[in-house]
Structures are given as C-alpha cells and as structure tokens.
Amino acid sequence: MKSLLIRDTTREEREQIVLQSLASCGGACDGCNGCDNLGGGRVDSIYAPYIEGEMELSEINEAYLRGFVR
C-alpha cells in the first residue's frame, strides 16, 4: 500500500484518497448523516485541510474524535 502522507502524495491523489474512502459505504456524502456526522455538514469538507496539504489524515481524525472539527 502506498503511503498516504502529504509528503508522499499529490493534491490530486489526496483528493482521490478522500473520495474513495468516503464512498466505501456505497453512497454520496451529500445530505448524509453517516459517520456520526449529525449536523456536521458535508463529511468530505472535513478533509479539505488534508487535500490542501495542511494537515495529515491522522491529525484530522483525532481532532474530529475530540470534537474540535465539525
């Protein structure tokens, strides 16, 4: 498996990683209340800092679990 770290991926690859990961349930994120995201907006928007190369996936996931990201 290829590294998912920002330093090892391009922006386009990171965008594809996020889209493929979120689609694992088989549905789109629009209007979805999955992933315990009730009232949290579009789930994929949470991962924008990763796509833009600002935060690693692990940092975003940790912040979300702690309630700092919604």
* pLDDT for res 56: 97
* pLDDT for res 8: 97
Torsion of CA 62, 55, 24, 27, to 10 degrees: 100
pLDDT 10s per residue in the chain (70 long)?
Answer: 789 999 999 999 999 998 888 776 666 555 555 555 555 556 678 899 999 999 999 999 898 888 765 5
**CA pair distance 16, 8, nearest whole angstrom:** 14
Transcribe the chain into DSSP letters: ----SGGGS-HHHHHHHHHHHHGGGSS-STT---TT-TTS--HHHHTHHHHTTSS-HHHHHHHHHTT---
